[in-house]
Amino acid sequence: MNLKIRGKLDQVFTAATGLSVVLLMLILVAILGPMLYRGGNAVFFQGTVEFRKMQRDLFRRADDTTLNAEIARTEEFRRQVYAMIDEFKKGVDVEALSDEVRELHRRFGEELRAKDVPSEQYSQLRGLTRDIRDNLETAFTKRDVGEIRPLVEAALQHAENPAFKGTSAEQFFRIARSFLATAEKVDLNHQREYAAALRDVEGILFHTQDLPGLLGPRPDEPQPLLVMLRYGTTRWDQARRLLDRFFWVEEWVEGNPGQPLVMRRTARAELFPESFRPLFSYVRDNAEKMLEPRFTAYWQFFLDDNVNSHYFGGVGPEILGTLFITVVGMLFVIPLGVVSAAYLVECAPDGQVIRIIRMCINTLAGVPSIVFGLFGLAFFVLFLFPLLGFEPKPCILAASMTLAVLTLPVMIRASEEAIRAVPRSYREGSLALGSSRFHTFVSVTLPAALPGILTGVILSLSRIAGETAPILFTGAVSMGDVPRSVFDPTRTLSYGSYDMAVGDRLAMMVPHNQYGMVVTLVLLILILNTVAIVLRTRVFKKLRGQ
Amino acid sequence: MSQESQDMQTTADHIKKSDVRTTVAVTPRKAPADTPADEACECAVIRSENFCLYYGSKTGVKNITMDIYPCSVTAIIGPSGCGKSTFLRSINRMNDLIPHVRTEGRLEVDGHHIYDKRTNLVNLRQQVGMVFQKPNPFPKSIFDNVAYGPRLQGIRRKDELQHIVEQSLRGGALWEEVKDDLNKSALALSGGQQQRLCIARALATRPRVLLMDEPCSALDPIATAKIEDLMGQLQGTYTIVIVTHNMQQAARVSERAAFFCLGELIEYDYTSRIFSNPKKKETEDYVTGRFG
């Protein structure tokens, strides 16, 4: 009976341990799976023609003939959109129209002066165009077609005047005719709302002041200063989100009093008069033809340094910066950690002082990382650097030193355990051969403790590469050049993903890049750890004589 | 650096001198006299006079007075905790590693009081090699293990090192077994081979004295037999002091034997007399198995 229970208990124990391992694997898959999938989106996606344009302009990666053909094809379909918007705009955007006629009047005067017409003819023609301009400007302010028509017709009666042939004054009549046409079709009482709604549509389709749009800037408009505004959406999934915003207006409205706000979606087309609605069905039907999405494997994501890498993707400088900080950090951690551990094990007499030192190390391991960040700023950047004659600014050196302080406890403890675990007989054997204590440590104890020390290296390596808070104030930037020395600040993967998480509307448009950065960080740490583990296994095998 | 190399140089000189002395010392043995004390005092390599060692307030050994003679095997026997290992480790000052150790009296090796402040520990330990209870080869290659001592003496030349390693491994009766894979890790050897490697490693510094602290207790009978054979070969050249629990072993290998009990030297005589005709009651009880 007793034996049976014991057997059962053993089985339960085995099952429980197996189950916990399976559970661990499941959790790992549950965490890493979606992250890998989403991160993979940064590399594999449906790239649009805008993506290929961007690649050509920024990296000279393109087959020019095919790309030009593509651009021509897409422009063909886009032109229709431009035309529809232009025509509608003529009717509703009266301020723009007024500006235009005023500009026309001025330009016409310059043309006349250039032609050296006699002064009385000059003043007569100027008077005529002034009348036309005034009539049109008044017409633009009216809402009622009945009032508009006489004013426009008054302007149009000069249309046949031979003096205006071939001058900018001809434009007056084109504007007048299209305005009258729009006024007859559209209820101008809603002019203001239309203008506002049109601005939204243009923002989504082309770009706003700070956000890129679906198609990119119009070919006839001057190139925007921000590089990212020069291209439309580079990815089809992003385009689909923009299209959704294009077709639907989302508003947060109060449902029932005291209840959370609810989102209401209304069709954007309903904000516009009947005559403009074909634009929406046109975009719906031809979106793919305007963007030509195609499957893209963007391997250069891991190498590229885009000016706006957070928008277009490309984490080359981030990877470089992370490696840089990690390597410099390890240069501090490994010697300091091993030497401190050696002191604690080999030299320090057992006593109160050592107990206090060990307690301090353990406490240090539990301090929140943001505290280290502030410490690094206060001590290294603001205190130590001016003292040593360096410029007191955040840089890789400060970041690495801060991270080194952060991971020192881990390194010391791992090395201490490793050194303590070396059999005393090794030490005695070496000393009995006449070796000094230092030489014994360097030539016998340290090599024997190497696998354990490498475990400490692995632990602190992952920590250094992944920490964000300590480098927040000491050496990380979200944009900037690739560092040239340890006295430059750098972009890092950890800080980049943090920066995007707390970023603005732009960051919300590119979650794939954020995941891409996180996955890159995980892969980088994985690779670094694999290297360290392989190294450790080899050292271990060599020590064991296998 | 220059200081160190100078030290190394003097060490090397010293070794050479000791070599000469060793060869001189290999003279036909004297016939057993009535007692060891009858022999000429100059012959003793190790002289202990009222030597005491304390661990803090605990006594390790006290009032040990004995002479150990060159080119012979001296066994130290006694029950556990009687101080025989402590005494053995005192001879090359390995007890210094233990905190709060204090000594009194004299312990001379080659006429130098080794607990003198001026004693050069490095020289002493190269003069007095030690083999431990458990084989403790370093986790390095066989070659590096044996070359460890010579390298400490400043020998860097490859051919010289090779020569020393070969001589030492031959001395340790291991050469034939390992000559083809000197670069293999020492930890890949069997226990008996490892212990012979440790002996070879100790021989590589060309010591005068070889201390062995129960060198066979972790080995099987075959390996033990090999080590004992080896001791037989070595005793013509080296002064060997061996601590052992195994009285048959002491009887087999040693010329003289010392019986320790409770930190004191009870009896010291030719092994044959200790086992056949002990003078003290305790010794008789111990060797006949009535006690201990």
Q: Which DSSP string do the residues of A314-343 spell out, in sequence order? A: --HHHHHHHHHHHHHHHHHHHHHHHHHHHI
Instruction: Kindly state whether residue A251 falls inside one of the protein's structural domains.
Output: no
Instruction: Kindly state whether residue A291 falls inside one of the protein's structural domains.
Output: no
A347 touches chain B (CB under 8 A): no
Count of domains for chain A: 2
Instruction: Measure A537 CA to nearest chain B CA, in Å.
Output: 15
Give the largest CA-CA distance in chain A.
128
Instruction: Kindly state whether residue A257 falls inside one of the protein's structural domains.
Output: no
Measured between beta carbons, the chain B residues lying within 8 angstroms of A432 are 92, 94, 125, 129-130, 132, 202
The C-alpha atoms of residue A23 and residue A526 are separated, in whole angstroms, by: 21
Containing A539, the helix (H) or strand (E) segment is helix A511-544
The C-alpha atoms of residue A259 and residue A256 are separated, in whole angstroms, by: 5
The answer to whether the beta carbons of residues A315 and A520 sit under 8 Å apart is: yes
The answer to whether the beta carbons of residues A544 and B187 sit under 8 Å apart is: yes
B126 touches chain A (CB under 8 A): yes
Work out the end-to-end distance of chain B between its first and last CA atoms, rounded to an integer number of angstroms: 52
A429 touches chain B (CB under 8 A): yes
The C-alpha atoms of residue B150 and residue B209 are separated, in whole angstroms, by: 16
Instruction: Measure B33 CA to nearest chain A CA, in Å.
Output: 34
- Token pair recorded at residue A53: 């344009």
Measured between beta carbons, the chain B residues lying within 8 angstroms of A444 are 138
Give the largest CA-CA distance in chain B.
59
- The answer to whether B185 contacts A544, with C-beta atoms less than 8 Å apart, is yes
Q: Domain boundary at A189, A219, A245, which?
A: A189
Q: What pLDDT does residue A331 have?
A: 95
Question: Is A258's pLDDT higher than 60?
Answer: yes
Q: What pLDDT does residue B292 have?
A: 55
Q: What is the DSSP letter of A270?
A: G
- Token pair recorded at residue A216: 């990119």
The C-alpha atoms of residue A189 and residue A142 are separated, in whole angstroms, by: 9
Q: Which CATH number fits domain B2-288: 3.40.50.300, 3.40.50.12780, 3.30.360.10, 3.30.1280.10?
A: 3.40.50.300
Task: Name residues whose C-beta falls within 8 Å of residue A176's C-beta, 6 or more positions apart in sequence.
Answer: A136, A139, A152, A155, A156
Strand partners, B77: B259
Restricting to A residues 348-367, those with a Cβ less than 8 Å away from any Cβ of B are 349-350
Model confidence pLDDT, tens digit, residues A149-178: 888 888 888 877 877 777 777 788 888 887
- The answer to whether B92 contacts A432, with C-beta atoms less than 8 Å apart, is yes
Instruction: Kindly state whether residue A216 falls inside one of the protein's structural domains.
Output: no
Instruction: Measure A428 CA to nearest chain B CA, in Å.
Output: 8
Give the distance from CA A158 to its chain's centroid: 56
Task: For chain B, list the strands marked E by DSSP.
Answer: 46-55, 58-68, 73-77, 101-109, 112-113, 128-131, 209-213, 239-243, 256-261, 264-270
B132 touches chain A (CB under 8 A): yes
Minimum-distance CB partner of A434 among B125, B136, B137: B125
Instruction: Kindly state whether residue A271 falls inside one of the protein's structural domains.
Output: no
Measured between beta carbons, the chain B residues lying within 8 angstroms of A354 are none
Instruction: Measure B178 CA to nearest chain A CA, in Å.
Output: 14
A542 touches chain B (CB under 8 A): yes
Measured between beta carbons, the chain A residues lying within 8 angstroms of B184 are 545
Strand, coil or helix: A298: coil
How many CA atoms are closer than 13 Å to the CA of B239, on its beta-carbon side?
Answer: 24
Instruction: Kindly state whether residue A336 falls inside one of the protein's structural domains.
Output: yes
Model confidence pLDDT, tens digit, residues A328-383: 999 999 999 999 999 998 887 777 888 898 899 999 988 999 999 999 999 999 99
A6 touches chain B (CB under 8 A): no
B136 touches chain A (CB under 8 A): yes
- Token pair recorded at residue A132: 């036309």
Write down the ipTM of this complex. 0.79
Spatial CA neighbour of A402 closest among A468, A491, A499: A468
- Residue A118 belongs to domain spanning: 78-189
A546 touches chain B (CB under 8 A): yes
The C-alpha atoms of residue B168 and residue B175 are separated, in whole angstroms, by: 8
The C-alpha atoms of residue A341 and residue A344 are separated, in whole angstroms, by: 5
B202 touches chain A (CB under 8 A): yes
Residue of chain A nearest B125, judged by CA positions: A434
CA distance readout (Å), B52 to A14, A252, B57, B98, B263 = 57, 93, 12, 15, 9
Minimum-distance CB partner of A433 among B123, B152, B187: B152
- The answer to whether A434 contacts B148, with C-beta atoms less than 8 Å apart, is no
Helices (H), A483-510: 493-501, 505-509
Q: Domain boundary at A189, A224, A254, which?
A: A189
The answer to whether the beta carbons of residues B279 and B255 sit under 8 Å apart is: no
Task: Name residues whose C-beta falls within 8 Å of residue A517's C-beta, 6 or more positions apart in sequence.
Answer: A39, A42, A315, A318, A493, A496, A497, A500
The fraction of chain A above a pLDDT of 70, given in percent, is: 98
Q: What pLDDT does residue B44 have?
A: 81
Instruction: Kindly state whether residue A245 falls inside one of the protein's structural domains.
Output: no
Instruction: Kindly state whether residue A21 falls inside one of the protein's structural domains.
Output: no
The C-alpha atoms of residue A69 and residue B188 are separated, in whole angstroms, by: 70
Q: Domain boundary at A189, A222, A254, which?
A: A189
Winning range, highest mean pLDDT, from A96-110, A431-445, A493-507: A431-445
Measured between beta carbons, the chain A residues lying within 8 angstroms of B138 are 426, 429-430, 444, 448
A439 touches chain B (CB under 8 A): yes
A316 touches chain B (CB under 8 A): no
Instruction: Measure B151 CA to nearest chain A CA, in Å.
Output: 10
Measured between beta carbons, the chain A residues lying within 8 angstroms of B185 are 542-546
Q: What is the DSSP letter of B37?
A: G
Instruction: Measure A454 CA to nearest chain B CA, in Å.
Output: 17
Residue of chain B nearest A346, judged by CA positions: B97
Within 10 Å of residue B269's Cβ, how many Cβ atoms? Answer: 22
Containing A101, the helix (H) or strand (E) segment is helix A94-115
Residues A181 and A320 in one domain: no
The answer to whether the beta carbons of residues A230 and A223 sit under 8 Å apart is: yes
Residue carrying structure tokens 């031979």: A162
| DSSP conformation letters of A196-214 | HHHHHHHHHHTB-SSSB-S
How many CA atoms are closer than 13 Å to the CA of B23, on its beta-carbon side?
Answer: 5
- Token pair recorded at residue A193: 């709302």
Residue of chain B nearest A448, judged by CA positions: B139
Model confidence pLDDT, tens digit, residues A462-505: 999 999 999 999 988 888 888 888 899 999 999 988 888 887 67
The C-alpha atoms of residue B278 and residue B244 are separated, in whole angstroms, by: 18
B164 touches chain A (CB under 8 A): no
CATH (domain of A364): 1.10.3720.10
Containing A45, the helix (H) or strand (E) segment is strand A44-47
The answer to whether the beta carbons of residues A413 and A459 sit under 8 Å apart is: no
The answer to whether the beta carbons of residues B51 and B63 sit under 8 Å apart is: yes
Model confidence pLDDT, tens digit, residues A276-316: 888 899 998 988 889 889 998 988 888 888 766 678 888 88
Q: What pLDDT does residue A308 have?
A: 67
Spatial CA neighbour of A326 closest among A414, A404, A411, A409: A404
Residue spans per domain, chain B: 2-288
A425 touches chain B (CB under 8 A): yes
The C-alpha atoms of residue A244 and residue A252 are separated, in whole angstroms, by: 16
Mean pLDDT of chain B: 81
A260 touches chain B (CB under 8 A): no
**Phi/psi of residue B172, each to 5°?**
-85, 10
A437 touches chain B (CB under 8 A): no
- The answer to whether B139 contacts A447, with C-beta atoms less than 8 Å apart, is yes
Q: What pLDDT does residue B120 have?
A: 86
The C-alpha atoms of residue A281 and residue A293 are separated, in whole angstroms, by: 19
B18 touches chain A (CB under 8 A): no
Minimum-distance CB partner of A432 among B130, B139, B187: B130
Minimum-distance CB partner of A433 among B134, B148, B184: B148
Residues A317 and A180 in one domain: no
Residue carrying structure tokens 């990119």: A216
The C-alpha atoms of residue A320 and residue A304 are separated, in whole angstroms, by: 11
- The answer to whether A430 contacts B126, with C-beta atoms less than 8 Å apart, is no
Residue of chain B nearest A544, judged by CA positions: B187
Low-confidence spans in chain B with pLDDT less than 70: 1-42, 292
Question: Is A19's pLDDT higher than 70?
Answer: yes
User: Using a CB cutoff of 8 Å and minimum separation of 24, what contacts does A58-67 make?
Assistant: A58/A227, A58/A306, A58/A307, A58/A312, A59/A300, A59/A304, A61/A300
Q: What pLDDT does residue B161 have?
A: 92
- The answer to whether B152 contacts A544, with C-beta atoms less than 8 Å apart, is no
The C-alpha atoms of residue B125 and residue B206 are separated, in whole angstroms, by: 11
How many CA atoms are closer than 13 Å to the CA of A338, on its beta-carbon side?
Answer: 18
